[in-house]
Amino acid sequence: FFFQAEDGIRDDLVTGVQTCALPISGRGLDAGVGHRRALPDPGGAGPRDRRAPVKALELVAEGQAPDGTPLTLHRKGAEWLIRAGGQDLMSSRAHGSEQEMVRLAGPFPANARVLVGGLGMGFTLRAALDAGPRVVVAELSPDVVEWNQRWLGDQIGRAHV
């Protein structure tokens, strides 16, 4: 993963944090991707390869970024994926960078306010809320906000937006 973090606004009462984690490998949630496992050969000759059942990538919702780029929300089992223009943008599979970013920005004074640029799947928001400050999120896509309210908040165990 490529990790980008920018410290946007900082004074004694406001801290601005932006995070971004993008996959850089070709592996993704494509419906054709499967897992190999060795199973005993029923004839007793030893293990044999067999593809494990693969859950299909389900299109849950479609939207649009402010610049017109198509956004899509997908689910594969318990995993969620947001794509922009057909490219994987973020996944619920890995989100440690968001928690680490908030940890590194803290500890926060009692009257702190944190601005998070971009809601994404809400992992930075959840981590900031857990750290104690008052949090404001700036999200340009109403569709991403709706997806968090409708599906992602409950399914991934985070606060409602």
CB neighbours of 49 closer than 8 A, spacing ≥ 6? Answer: 36, 37, 38, 39
- The Cα 87–Cα 30 span in angstroms is 11
Mean pLDDT within 47-71: 82
What is the pLDDT, as a whole number, of residue 30? Answer: 43
> In this predicted model, what pLDDT tens digit does every residue of 4-54 receive, in sequence order?
344 334 444 544 444 544 443 444 444 433 333 444 545 555 555 556 666
Burial class (CB in 10 A: 0-12, 13-18, 19+), 59: exposed
Global pTM reads: 0.66
151 DSSP assignment = I
82: pLDDT confidence band, cut at 50, 70 and 90?
very high
Mean pLDDT within 52-63: 86
HSE on the CB side for 17, CA within 13 Å?
25
3-state helix, strand, coil in the chain (%, to 5): 20, 40, 40
What is the pLDDT, as a whole number, of residue 29? Answer: 42
> In this predicted model, what pLDDT tens digit does every residue of 99-147 receive, in sequence order?
888 888 888 888 888 888 889 999 888 888 888 888 888 899 999 999 9
- Check whether the bond before 23 is cis (ω within 30° of 0): no
161 pLDDT above the threshold of 70: no
